[in-house]
Amino acid sequence: MEKWWKETVFYEIYMPSFKDGNGDGIGDFIGLTNKLDYLSELGIGAIWLTPFYQSPRIDNGYDISDYYSIDPIFGSDEDLERFIEEAHKRNIRVIADLVINHTSTEHQWFKESASSRDSAKRDWYIWKDTPNNWESFFGGSAWEYDQRTEQYYYHSFAKEQADLNWRNPEVKQEIFKVIEYWLLKGFDGFRLDVINNLTLGETFPDNPTDENGEQIHLMDKDQEGIRDILSEINAFIKKINPKAFTVGEISSDDLETIAKYSEDNILDVTFNFNFGSVEAFKVEKVFNELKRMDDIYQSDRDPTLFFGSHDMGRLWSRLANGNIGQAELLATLILTAKGVPFLYFGDEIGMEDLVQHSIEEFRDIQAIMSYRLALENGEDIQEAIMKANKASRDKARAPMQWENEPFSPVEPWIPEAKRVDGRGQRLFSFYKKLIRLREIDDFCYAPYKHLEIVNNLIYYQRGNCLFFLNFGEESETVENDWEIDGMLLSNVSPKWTQSEIEIPEHAAVILAVN
């Protein structure tokens, strides 16, 4: 199968939070390997691992200090190799999160670059005598002054994450060696972090500001030449493994910009955060985004479908609002609409947001920076904690809750969220049935025959499957224009006659049609 991901369900695992296998309070490869049967039972076809490389963990692993070494907290090379081998035995592929926009300032490359203006690696990073107005995506200036060499270096995120200079061909060649190393280890592809942020320009014009004085990130991403370099990266990956998969995180809220990175063999798919990271569920907004994705992703391209990740609040808290029927509807949408589905660990059992009560409990640099800025602006500690919780990505990073055993025999690296109740078993069973349906039917490859909305009811047909998703508090009725051959799956039973179909409130219904 050339494009195996079209019928695959991906499952994101936040490495330190999935399962502790060696008793130190941190998730690791031993724990992952021990839970592969759980993922196999669920029906997962591919795992996306967040960074596991050597790192000071200022940004929880997205600040890599050695691309070739596994952080000891996650295990050894042998542990990783056994995990990949055991995953492949279960027909589960594994993709790695790869951060090539920046490195940790603890990386040897940066240490050499910062040692002298005459360093052979000086031009591996971006140094300036006078900074422009660019701001970090985490807030504050994106430039940090280096006392030793009396220049500023550029960091689009935390000051401990220095951006690589992709104009330098030596950087590109070294990163290609990294890519080859991990593919030969057995990985089946990569999730490429903030990949359209790669710095390629020779000039650094200021970013504009909006009417409120807030900076618009315009000149610091999507720079000239980015499509060419990503095409080159993708081609290099496919040369080593023609079946390898690439998914890009794109720093943009413009769907056409996001989509263009999955055309012309640039990347296989890209994440659309307009769909996945909505702060509150509105059926019209979700439907309109489905329509827009269908309009823009033409020919053989596919959007991605997700409602959770390590960078946003939990599906249960943010979108389901504690309603199990709503959670089942969201699961049905992700797993049956047109696109490549990505689940986030714990959403299949209804895990909720972690709420933290003191600054000592936070691990996310984004939350900690928000807390500090609030105090600097004169707000009290309670207000600062509220702002930190709002900004925090820790809310979705609490340890996985296992049914009959703890995440770890010792205190976890991060506080645990409130325990799920009986909803866990019900949701897991429903996710499992949805994924199984994808395996026995051909709708994964089928376009929409219908994609409609009536009040709070979204319905669509793909292949011989008809999907009804009623997000409302009242039943909805539509004309029966199909020859119904039976019900494939539902969380609440519908009613139908030859003339109409009635879908109860909070019902997810899948019918077989001729």
Query: Which residues are catalytically annotated?
Result: 193, 249
Contact 293, 428 (CB under 8 A): no
Cβ atoms within 10 Å of 261's Cβ, excluding its own? 25
Q: What is the number of H-type helices and E-type strands within the chain?
A: 14, 23
Residue 455's alpha-carbon distances to 192, 245, 282, 297, 469, in angstroms, are: 38, 38, 11, 26, 11
How buried is 404 (Cβ within 10 angstroms: 0-12 exposed, 13-18 middle, 19+ buried)?
Answer: exposed
Token pair for residue 261? Answer: 């990175």
333, 469 contact by CB (below 8 A): yes
Classified as helix, coil or strand, 48 is strand
Per-residue DSSP letter, 325:
H
Please state the φ and ψ torsions of residue 303, each to the nearest 5 degrees: -80, 175
**CA 61 to CA 47: how far, in whole Å?**
17
Strand 93-98 relative to strand 189-192, pairing: parallel
Strand partners, 453: 458
Residue 212's contacts (CB-CB under 8 Å, 6 or more residues apart) are none
Compute the distance between CA of residue 69 and CA of residue 185 in angstroms, rounded to an integer. 12
Query: What distance in Å separates the CA atoms of residue 403 and residue 400, rounded to the nearest whole number?
Result: 10
For the chain, what is the radius of gyration of the CA atoms? 23
